[in-house]
Amino acid sequence: MVGPLPCKARRRQVSAVIAAVKDLPPIIRAMSQSDVASVLEIENETYDFPWSAGIFRDCLLAGYTAVVLDLDNEVVGYSVMSVAAGEAHLLNICVAKALRRRGIGKRLVTEMLMRAKVFSAARIFLEVRPSNSPALELYFKTGFKTLGVRQSYYKAKDGNEDAVVLIYRFDGAGESA
């Protein structure tokens, strides 16, 4: 019969478990109402005209596909998408400023593509500011194509800004609708 570990050995074992938990890869999970405050922090640090807490709560209540990327029990990114009638619309995707350009946005886009496909969407639409070149680069690398432009779609500090409308087709067809 083996007795309990000596105190030092037990501490080493606990330390190893804690270290392993801290090194867990980020996970993508469903956004919940309790995540809205963390999501709002990222939203507010990013956008001049951010979504409100009410918009996020309404999206959750409406059953939109909403996920967060959780890193060490901290929300560091999120995405919201609606799906209906064989189409998806990526409504919002954002990553904490300190963690941008590290693959988190790509993970979120890839996750939403997978979820849209599971819901049998034939295509996904999104709008993006032409001034958001990192996002445009990410979307083009992921397989989105330009569909058109919505004039004066976004509020901007100096008036309005157009939106580039992008489309991702699961069948790989051309850009036109």
**So what's the pLDDT on residue 162?**
93
**So what's the pLDDT on residue 9?**
57
**So what's the pLDDT on residue 41?**
97
**So what's the pLDDT on residue 172?**
66
pLDDT tens for the chain, 177 residues long, are 555 555 565 555 545 544 444 556 789 999 999 999 999 999 999 999 999 999 999 999 999 999 999 998 999 999 999 999 999 999 999 999 999 998 999 999 999 999 999 999 999 999 999 999 999 999 999 999 999 999 989 988 889 999 999 999 998 654 444
Look up the domain containing 162 and give its range.
Answer: 25-169
- pTM for the structure as a whole: 0.82
Query: CA 33 to CA 84: how far, in whole Å?
Result: 22
**So what's the pLDDT on residue 3?**
56
Q: Specify if 64 maps to a domain.
A: yes
Q: Specify if 9 maps to a domain.
A: no
93: buried, middle or exposed (CB in 10 Å: 19+, 13-18, 0-12)?
A: buried
Q: Specify if 106 maps to a domain.
A: yes
**So what's the pLDDT on residue 171?**
85
Residue 156, number of CB atoms within 10 A of its CB: 14
Q: Specify if 46 maps to a domain.
A: yes
**So what's the pLDDT on residue 108?**
97
The residue among 112, 99, 1, 109 whose CA lies nearest residue 41 is 99
**So what's the pLDDT on residue 122?**
97
Total tally of structural domains belonging to the chain: 1
Q: Specify if 48 maps to a domain.
A: yes
Task: Give me 66's structure tokens.
Answer: 């909403």
Q: Specify if 4 maps to a domain.
A: no
Residue 10, number of CB atoms within 10 A of its CB: 11
CATH number of the domain that residue 127 is part of: 3.40.630.30
Q: Specify if 2 maps to a domain.
A: no
Q: Specify if 43 maps to a domain.
A: yes
